[in-house]
Amino acid sequence: LQKILILLQVTLSVVVGKTLMILFPNAMKRYILKMGEKSRMNQNPKFSYENWGPTFFSFKYLQFVLKVKWKRLEDEAYEGHPAPNTPVVTLGGEVCHVLDFMKDNRPLILNFGSCT
């Protein structure tokens, strides 16, 4: 159900965005450039608006946003519910999932830290 709602929301956003790009190209260019400022896309002098601006509200944009939003659904944890089985990469470069490290009925403890 959540995936369907996300599909509807993102599809509607893309359809409205694409329509506005056709009807009001200059206003949408300013809007997209503002979004580029927030993500600092426009700070790279070799990466102009013409390279990335027209890709907004395209079919590939729709696919990418859906993929990201659907993947984030798997990463959310809720109290009283099972833990998400998030993908992780081992030090050896192997992709597996957090719950692959469970052994028998023992609790799995994740320790997050950093070395400097």
* Total-model pTM: 0.57
**Confidence (pLDDT) at 116:** 62
Task: List all residues 6 or more positions away from 102 whose beta carbon is below 8 Å from its beta carbon.
Answer: 108
pLDDT at 115 over 80: no
**Confidence (pLDDT) at 40:** 76
User: What is the DSSP-derived secondary structure letter of residue 5?
Assistant: H
pLDDT band at 82 (very low <50, low <70, confident <90, very high): confident
Look at the block and give the residue holding tokens 């927030």.
38
pLDDT tens for residues 28-45?
888 888 887 877 776 777
